[in-house]
Amino acid sequence: MKGLTLERLQTDFETKSRVWRNGTCRQQTLAILDKQQPDTGWQLQEAVCLATNSFSRDNFQARQRSIMQWVAFFDIVQHLQIKQDDPIAVFAQEPNYTALDKQFLQRLDVRVLDADLNGDHVAGLGEAKQHVRASSFVFEAFMDLGVEAVGDLFEGDPALYIGSSVERWRETSQRSGVASTAKRSAAEIVTDGGRNDDEDGEGGVTRSVARLMGSRRSYRMPRFEEDPNIFDGLLIYWKEDG
């Protein structure tokens, strides 16, 4: 964006942060997380933000959306950090980040990860794959996930996940005629190994979705009154105790 500097980008971030902190969406989201926190705490080691798009490119609507999504993720991480003693390392991955975006994130002590590109799409989760695990919080704001990437995400089994891909893949599997697999219990799928599905294709992803859905509960992201489209379609997923 012409004339955009690091200082101005920082100011935009602070302005959006005030809007987010004063809204009911934040209050309700944090209340959900506090209520669903395990008895032993979230015990997070890493927080990974995927696919916010650029904060500095010359597209006003996309830029406003990207900054607000980043504000929400970063504030949630700070809230979760207060709840535990061990530090949470913060990572961000987006193939469209500019040099200015990376400078901005570095100022926030965020490590920028590399996304391996395959044509116009990220090949799997790129470098983020190694940071998606049982001790992770993953925020995925409408990322266009292919089979490999969604497999990486679900097999990583993050403790806390806010995103849209689980619901999209569940709906896709139902429309494509593999609904019977998606609706089976996680125990059934693990027991028989999903013999009727190919391991590396959509069938394998369907099993991953079913396993994740079978061990988790979810809430829809509360409505963001200031701009409902920014978070509409995101769900909050957490592991059910026991």
Read off the pLDDT of residues 130-157 as tens digits, 9 standing for 90 and up. 899 999 999 988 777 667 777 777 778 8
- Please write the tens of the pLDDT for every residue from 151-168: 777 778 899 999 887 766
- Please write the tens of the pLDDT for every residue from 178-200: 444 333 333 333 333 333 444 45
Residue 195 pLDDT: 38
Q: Please, is 109 exposed, middle or buried when counting C-beta atoms within 10 Å of its C-beta (0-12, 13-18, 19+)?
A: exposed
- Please write the tens of the pLDDT for every residue from 13-61: 999 999 999 999 999 999 999 999 998 999 999 999 998 899 998 888 8
- Please write the tens of the pLDDT for every residue from 1-16: 888 999 999 999 999 9
Higher pLDDT, 175 or 99: 99
Residue 190 pLDDT: 34
The helix-helix angle for 165-175 and 202-214 (nearest 10°) equals 120
Q: Taken in order 59, 235, 101, 74, is the CA torsion positive or negative? A: positive
- Please write the tens of the pLDDT for every residue from 196-241: 444 455 555 566 666 656 667 889 999 999 998 899 989 999 987 6
Neighbours of 163 (CB within 10 A): 24
* Nearest alpha-carbon partner for 194 in 54, 202, 105: 202
Q: Please, is 111 exposed, middle or buried when counting C-beta atoms within 10 Å of its C-beta (0-12, 13-18, 19+)?
A: middle
* Nearest alpha-carbon partner for 126 in 99, 101, 145: 145
Structure tokens at 195: 């013999």
Structure tokens at 44: 């997070």
The chain-wide mean pLDDT, for the chain, equals 81
* Nearest alpha-carbon partner for 69 in 237, 241, 242, 234: 234
